[in-house]
Amino acid sequence: MSGLQVLIVDDEPLARRRLARQLRTIAWIAEVHEAGNVEDALAAIPEVTPDILLVDIQMPDGTGFDLVRRLNNPSLAVIFVTAFDDQALKAFDANAIDYVTKPIEPGRLRMALERARHAAMLSSSMDRISELEEVVAALRQRDFSAARGKPELWVRSQGDYVRILPSAITHAQAERDYVRIHADGHEYLYHENLGTLERMLAPEQFLRIHRSTIVRIDAVERVKAGSFSSLALVLANGVELRVGRTYTAGIRNQLMARQ
């Protein structure tokens, strides 16, 4: 989120101008909009889509509480600005971020705005994550219904989702309740367990070689013999993976069957 949009709702033009002048000195505020009453604010909000609302309480056509109630938008950061100092409890009951009394002290206003800024940015981040999760869920549904046995994994990475094709995976290793997937020279933490991932991958392409490791067969370059009949698989990228003792016989049989 870059600059934020702010809407001032106050029936006194002079009060609006004074407040707008202070807001325009703040670098992270992109634009300041004004409305003189509740109805004007309700009409303006869909157009200006404010991130922060600065609302007077007493206005001719209703109160600031009426406006917030009619908006029914909990993600909008609201600061009540009023000459009355006995409405604070009711303001916070209305889920206000802060409550500032007139005459407005600049330092107190900036403190309230910083709180509102933090709340607006947090809401935006949560909305973005929610939207991403919805998109990924839809993509997963499309992928698995259209091509079972050829899944495309969608893995969260640095706030985004990355699509990983099975053909790009060299191996995957259990890491507590998650799986660390190694693909195309990168590592991704997949929020499922190893058993779930194994069921998603084609068994003719992937092998379980350890209780905590799955490997793509085509990524194996050679098999390395160890002491006491143990085995290790060496991948084309040089990574060496130990074969679990209980998996050794099965690995030998599967590899011999492919010769």
Residue at 126: amino acid letter: M
User: Could you tell me the CA-to-CA distances from 116 to 7, 172, 219 in Å, in that order?
Assistant: 13, 43, 52
- Of 83-92, 177-186, 203-212, least confident by mean pLDDT is 83-92
pTM: 0.47
Which H or E run includes 150?
none
User: Could you tell me the CA-to-CA distances from 162 to 1, 88, 181, 187, 206 in Å, in that order?
Assistant: 22, 46, 12, 11, 21
Which neighbouring-strand residues pair with 183? 169, 186
pLDDT on residue 131: 44
User: Could you tell me the CA-to-CA distances from 53 to 71, 163, 256 in Å, in that order?
Assistant: 11, 39, 70
Higher pLDDT pick, 118 / 96: 118
Higher pLDDT pick, 93 / 102: 102
Instruction: Round the average pLDDT of the chain to a whole number and report it.
Output: 80
Distance CA 82, CA 86 (A): 10
Q: Which domains does the chain have, with CATH numbers?
A: 4-127 (3.40.50.2300), 153-257 (2.40.50.1020)
